[in-house]
Every structure is written in C-alpha cells, then in structure tokens.
Amino acid sequence: MMRRLALVVPFAALTLALAGCGLHPLYSGGGSGAVAGGLTQIEVGPIEGKSGWLMSNALRDRLHAQASPRYRLEIKLDDQITGLGVNRDNSISRERRTLRARYQLVDLSNGSVLLDATAGSDAGIDAVNSEYATIAAEDTALERLSQIVADQIVARVATYVQRTAPEPR
C-alpha cells in the first residue's frame, strides 16, 4: 500500500504542476476545434517540379482545404543532392538529399504575409553500382523528405493559427 501511495503522490503533484504551466493541446476540440478549422481555410499555391508536386500533395492531405479559402501557402523549394563519399575510382558512394522550403502564409483578403518561415530536412542515400537502384533510393528519399517537411510546415502554421485564434468564451 505504501508503494502505491508513493507513486500516486508524485503523479498528482506533476499533474497539478503541468495544469498551471500554460500548456494547452494544439488540436483541442478535435476536427471542430479552432486550429483544425483554421487549417481548412488554407489553400496550397502551385509549387514547381516533382518535389513541388509531392509537397503539394502532402500538404493537401494534411490541411483538408475548403472550397473558399481565406489563406494561401506560397512555397519555394530547394532540392539538392550532394555527393559525400568517394570510392578509389572517384565514383560517389554516399549522397545526401536536402529539401528546404521557404513558405509564406498569405491573407487572401489583403495580400499581407502573416507568416514567413523555413522548414527542411535531409536524408542519406547509399549510391550503389546499379544506377536504377540509386535513382529509386533518391526518389524514395524525396518522398520521405516531402512528408517530413510538410509535417513541419503544418505544425508551424497550426501553432500560428492557435496563437491568433480568438479565445473561446
């Protein structure tokens, strides 16, 4: 009994301490909450290239935009592959693919930029003797990086929406 009490008291103290720290769930209210509702009001502007197509799809999957958006995400991507490891025959044995996004959240009613930020990630790729396998690994890395960077963008935009949403009454 004493052991159970020893576990309950620290847990209760931790719960009380966290309740007063000002932390609030980002997606409180679920699909009908302020953040989820705010994200549905964002359209994704056109993004160039294959990486842009992947990024647009990843963002649309996360935002669930409505027919009449209030905001637009404008994104410029920088997608690079850099050789890192070199074999004795001067062929590359390892690559790094880097995907960086500069994004702006634009208010469609007046054209003002509400949020201007960057997101990015990178992935290591083994360059093997098969050119097909290396290209497939590069493409897989780009798909994975698009998902990671889209998650970063949506998290940052959701934080902005939460911060600027009117307080519930």
Task: Give every CB contact of residue 166 below 8 A, 6+ residues apart in sequence.
Answer: 34
Asked, for residue 142, whether it belongs to a domain, the answer is: yes
Tally Cβ neighbours within 10 Å of residue 163.
Answer: 8
Higher confidence at residue 88 or residue 28?
Answer: 88
Cα 160 to Cα 114: distance, rounded to the nearest angstrom: 9
Quote the distance between the C-alpha of residue 124 and its chain's center: 19
Please indicate, yes or no, if residue 82 is contained in any of the structural domains. yes
Q: Residue 146's pLDDT is what? A: 97
Q: What's the whole-number mean pLDDT along residues 5-29?
A: 51
In a domain, 64, yes or no: yes
Residue 3 placed within a domain: no
**pLDDT averaged over every residue in the chain:** 83
What's the rounded mean pLDDT across residues 61-73? Answer: 89
Percent of the chain with pLDDT over 70: 77
Compute the average pLDDT of residues 143-151. Answer: 97
Residue 67 scores a pLDDT above 80:
no
Q: Which of 39, 15, 19, 42 is nearest to 29 (CA)?
A: 39
User: What are the tens digits of pLDDT across the range 30-58?
Assistant: 445 567 778 888 999 999 999 999 999 99
Domain-embedded: residue 18: no
Identify the weakest region by mean pLDDT among 14-28, 37-51, 63-77.
Answer: 14-28
Portion of the chain with pLDDT greater than 90, in percent: 55
Question: Positive or negative, the Cα torsion across 118, 46, 48, 92?
Answer: positive
Q: Is 7 inside a domain boundary? A: no
Q: What pLDDT is attached to residue 51?
A: 95
Stretch 75-89: mean pLDDT? 90
Residue ranges making up the domain that contains 81: 26-164
Place of tokens 């980002």: 26
Residue 17 included in any domain? no
The CATH number given to whatever domain includes residue 123 is: 3.30.160.150
Residue 106 lies in a domain: yes
Among the ranges given (15-19, 92-96, 116-120), the one the predictor scored with the smallest mean pLDDT: 15-19
Mean pLDDT lowest among 29-33, 78-82, 92-96: 29-33
Total number of domains constituting the chain: 1
